[in-house]
Structure 1
């Protein structure tokens, strides 16, 4: 059975999977226990996958970094149907959810079998994402040069560019260079996927740059491709073990990965808010039901928002 990204029935099944994860995490939002938040979402997402009419293979999921026995790379799920590869994060921004802060989401991206890049348990990736100046922005250029190109493309001075950078020590050099160039740093601690999506859609951020999660990078690539944005990446292993895994998988970690290296054919990106995020409201109770808000991006139709009611479980 052929995978068709714009198939609304299939998309609805995918949305139900991220909705289940968000609803399961809801009772633990604000608990202070990010492992419990993640565990509840993982279990709920896997149960939802079990009845989905797809032949799904997890390419990017939980695993060694998360010490998770479910939704691991290579796991096969679904009742049969279109053969798809899946990148999934039951909760991106577990700390945000645990502390009841905005920006936490349940997220998934799917594409035809064999289309998604497998980071081979290399946990970190350098990423450059923008909506504008796609053909000329490159990780092979200096950040200062990229900012100049982007400013010219947007018709604005560099001083008005907003650049999202995750606040980690490994990214301090990007923060320093953005400020030295005169642009505005938009710092974020967690929520890589949401900030990447903002950059890809030009929603308050002109560029995202820095080293973040490789799994989130693959997830984001599907959304960037479907949004018409620009993305480059390269694996950035932080330990000898990660470098060994990249070498064993034949993935040179100095090589530039372009968007079609990360996702080789059109896919579907699905996101459900766990806390308020991406312009969506967190799961909330209305007239005795839990209401979730999700977004679906398939690159064919305009991104659509799905608002759905779920019976409350005693």
Structure 2
């Protein structure tokens, strides 16, 4: 293995990336509280794509917005730029689109990147079943276990009774049976309508009110979460979980096994990976955008999987 510094080791590289999520967040902010999530998402996608073109990279979109959300940009397989380094990206221009449109807390622009060839190709998978565990439970919970056994093992790892556990779950019909199982064992839930990247972040953050994340959300968020879980010292597992016959057929034809749990290391095969987020509305990861007298104020978070370093960047700049 070469010990020569690569492009990911350049001091300026991670900080240039936040220009991409900043652009998406500011573009989306114009649509906060207007109940028009498609317009907000479209603005964020366009701004993120333009910002990616403006920095000197050579990127392939491994997981993007295009096919699922009928967007013309940031689709799987799209190539962006001709510079260095050669990277793969997973993007979510608005994580928490409904929250953005409704004007409530917890939405952000996020992306993750790794060297070319590092990200597992999820193909046509839109949805992924996930298990996110804090550092104290790393290696102590098998994602294939039943809910009761997982909760008991998690409680033992965290040295607390099951009754004090709180599990983040997206409030979806597909999760109703699992939510009942969690409650029947005696644990509590935090049910949210969207925003499982923020939920995963809370599960990984020491001192948080959330102990783990269970359940199915978007595949892009799965790859993104696998990267920042590594940076935060926790553990991520995921398996493709098609929602509907059409997606199931596409996933099967692509050769993906919907029953197989994969570790974060299998999903992203490099420590040279970076997570970047900029808040749109304030949440547990980032403060939201504010605009005063033509000046935009943003808060971005960068997490480096290789070192575990976290960088918080507050920016201000004039906007048209």
**Number of matched pairs:** 313
Aligned equivalent of 2:257: 252
Q: Please give the secondary structure, in 2, of the residue aligned with 1:8.
A: coil
Following TM superposition, by how much is the alpha carbon of 1:79 offset from its aligned partner in structure 2, in angstroms? Answer: 4.0
Question: Is the contact between residue 232 and residue 308 of structure 2 (CA under 8 Å) also seen in structure 1?
Answer: no
* In structure 1, C-alpha distance between the alignment counterparts of 2:38 and 2:280, rounded to whole Å: 15
Q: Please give the secondary structure, in 2, of the residue aligned with 1:139.
A: coil
| Distance change (3 Å), C-alpha of 1:200 and 1:301 | closer
| Distance change (3 Å), C-alpha of 1:269 and 1:6 | farther
- Cα deviation code 1:197-256 (max 9, x no counterpart): 211234321110011111211111111111111111111112222122222221111111
The worse-fitting range, judged by mean Cα deviation, of 64-73 and 212-221 is 212-221
Matches within 5 A, 1:216-295: 216-266=221-271, 267-286=273-292, 288-295=294-301
TM-score in terms of structure 1 length: 0.96
Matches within 5 A, 1:120-269: 120-131=123-134, 132-202=136-206, 203-266=208-271, 267-269=273-275
1:77 aligns with 2:80: yes
TM-score in terms of structure 2 length: 0.94
Name the Cα RMSD after superposition.
Answer: 1.6
Residue segments in structure 2 that go unaligned for 5+ positions in a row: none
Aligned equivalent of 1:311: 318
Residue segments in structure 1 that go unaligned for 5+ positions in a row: none
- Cα deviation code 1:36-95 (max 9, x no counterpart): 110110111111011111101100111221001100000111241111000001101111
Question: Is the contact between residue 131 and residue 238 of structure 2 (CA under 8 Å) also seen in structure 1?
Answer: yes
Question: Is the contact between residue 231 and residue 308 of structure 2 (CA under 8 Å) also seen in structure 1?
Answer: no
Question: Is the contact between residue 52 and residue 79 of structure 1 (CA under 8 Å) also seen in structure 2?
Answer: no
Aligned equivalent of 2:27: 24
Question: Is the contact between residue 23 and residue 274 of structure 1 (CA under 8 Å) also seen in structure 2?
Answer: yes
1:297 aligns with 2:300: no
* In structure 2, C-alpha distance between the alignment counterparts of 1:83 and 1:2, rounded to whole Å: 14
Q: Please give the secondary structure, in 1, of the residue aligned with 2:137.
A: coil
* In structure 2, C-alpha distance between the alignment counterparts of 1:8 and 1:291, rounded to whole Å: 23
| Distance change (3 Å), C-alpha of 1:2 and 1:173 | farther
Question: Is the contact between residue 296 and residue 304 of structure 1 (CA under 8 Å) also seen in structure 2?
Answer: yes
Aligned equivalent of 1:51: 54
